[in-house]
Amino acid sequence: MFEKITKKSPYPVFNCNEEYIDWGRKIGEGISSVYKVKWDNKEYAGKLYETFREEDLIYELNIAKKLENSKQSVKVYGVILYGNNVLLLMELLKSFGDLCDYIQKKQKWIACYLVNGEYIPKPKSEFIYFNKEDNIYWSYLLSDKQKMKITLSLAKAMKELHSHNIIHGDIKTNNVVLHYEPKKEYIKLIDFGVSYMTNADDLIEIECRCGTLGYRAPEQEDLQMNYKSDIYSMAVTIVELWNGDIWYDGDNFKECRKEVLRGIRNIEKNNKELGRLIRKSISLKHKNRPDSKLFLESIKKIISNNDHKYRIHLHN
């Protein structure tokens, strides 16, 4: 069992019994669950695979190896085999969870009620999300400066990723983490399970409809993808970051896109430059979207043009 992983893994492979793994709390959940674990007296984020194809896992490990010198992608350190399971030992990030957790839990929201056409209390932000179940309007309070700092860092992470000839394939707030280090914070990309390595700029054929509904680009719906598919997904992620929440009842591409466009209109009220860039980035035609280099340059230009508002130090 696991002969391919043992022979072809670019990382050290350890065989052990489960009792030798010190399991902590669950810190992430998707197709695979992620736990805080301790192994050989060191702490890691452990990504648990219980159902998988060895070929897919080896491919993911090779992508991680290619990104081992990347600053803004999560690092892998080794593989543990136990029973019928595989545990990836990854970098344990210092964060409040993924970006979705950061937005929903860390940042403050103020409840408002609509009375005779007026919000009570008066919202402190134009970004308001309506919770239909509770009939409450929530005012989102993350500052524009912090939103733009995260946007800038995400754009840098995407440019770095694409410079390694890798398409992520599933960019969304759940696969982006705001990582903290002394005196600085920056975005780290996680979960490369559906990523592709390619030197081609054109669309490539993909085996399955990877990505997440609402975030994935229209070409992914048709089992195709390229670097600009990530740009589409990143732009949707940024719309969610700026609004706090954008999702309501959409259960197909068309309905979800309407919710994204509504979020863009909120951004355009006070930041037309950013709104224009995002609109272009979610063009239905992938060739009309900027690449990651141009997107980053455009974000930097927006910040420079509004230095009085953001006061963000731009550095490479």
CATH number of the domain within which 83 lies: 3.30.200.20
Of 140, 159, 180, the residue at which a domain comes to its end is 140
Instruction: Return the pLDDT at 173.
Output: 97
Please tell me whether residues 32 and 158 are part of one structural domain. no
Q: Flag the least confident range among 108-117, 163-172, 261-270, 288-297.
A: 108-117
Please tell me whether residues 164 and 79 are part of one structural domain. no
Query: Within a domain: residue 315?
Result: no
pLDDT average, residue stretch 83-99: 94
Query: Within a domain: residue 100?
Result: no
- Decide if pLDDT at 95 tops 70: yes
Please tell me whether residues 274 and 154 are part of one structural domain. yes
- Decide if pLDDT at 19 tops 90: no
- Decide if pLDDT at 1 tops 80: no
pLDDT average, residue stretch 72-82: 96
> What is the count of structural domains for the chain?
3
CA distance 197 to 86: 23
Instruction: Determine how β-strand 224-225 pairs with β-strand 76-82.
Output: unpaired
Please tell me whether residues 176 and 262 are part of one structural domain. yes
Instruction: Return the pLDDT at 2.
Output: 86
Instruction: Return the pLDDT at 315.
Output: 67
Instruction: Return the pLDDT at 59.
Output: 94
Cα dist. 214→168, 172, 186, 187, 207 in Å? 16, 9, 25, 21, 19
Q: To the nearest whole percent, how much of the chain has pLDDT over 70? A: 99
* Cβ atoms of residues 295 and 281 within 8 Å: yes
Of 90, 120, 153, the residue at which a domain comes to its end is 90
State the pTM of this model: 0.95
Please tell me whether residues 75 and 165 are part of one structural domain. no
Query: Within a domain: residue 133?
Result: yes
Please tell me whether residues 164 and 256 are part of one structural domain. yes
- Decide if pLDDT at 197 tops 80: yes
CATH number of the domain within which 204 lies: 1.10.510.10
pLDDT average, residue stretch 165-183: 95
- Decide if pLDDT at 37 tops 60: yes
Please tell me whether residues 118 and 171 are part of one structural domain. no
- Residue 135 domain boundaries: 108-140
* Cβ atoms of residues 234 and 155 within 8 Å: yes
Query: Within a domain: residue 101?
Result: no
- Decide if pLDDT at 240 tops 70: yes
Query: Within a domain: residue 37?
Result: yes
- The number of residues making up the chain comes to 316
Average pLDDT of the residues of the chain = 94
Query: Within a domain: residue 304?
Result: yes
Residue-wise pLDDT for 128-162, tens only, equals 999 988 889 999 999 999 999 999 999 999 999 99
Please tell me whether residues 277 and 189 are part of one structural domain. yes
Please tell me whether residues 59 and 183 are part of one structural domain. no
Residue-wise pLDDT for 208-234, tens only, equals 888 999 999 999 999 999 999 999 999
Query: Within a domain: residue 97?
Result: no
Edge-to-edge strands of the sheet including 42-49? Answer: 13-15, 76-82, 85-90, 42-49, 33-39, 22-29
pLDDT average, residue stretch 26-45: 92
Query: Within a domain: residue 99?
Result: no
Res. 108 pLDDT band, cuts 50 70 90: confident
pLDDT average, residue stretch 233-247: 97
Please tell me whether residues 172 and 57 are part of one structural domain. no
Of 90, 117, 152, the residue at which a domain comes to its end is 90
Instruction: Return the pLDDT at 316.
Output: 52
Please tell me whether residues 181 and 225 are part of one structural domain. yes
Please tell me whether residues 177 and 134 are part of one structural domain. no
Contacts 24+ apart (CB under 8 A), 144-148: 144/270, 144/271, 144/309, 144/310, 145/309, 145/310, 145/311, 145/312, 147/241, 147/242, 148/299, 148/302, 148/303, 148/310, 148/312
Please give the residue that has the higher pLDDT: either 207 or 57: 57
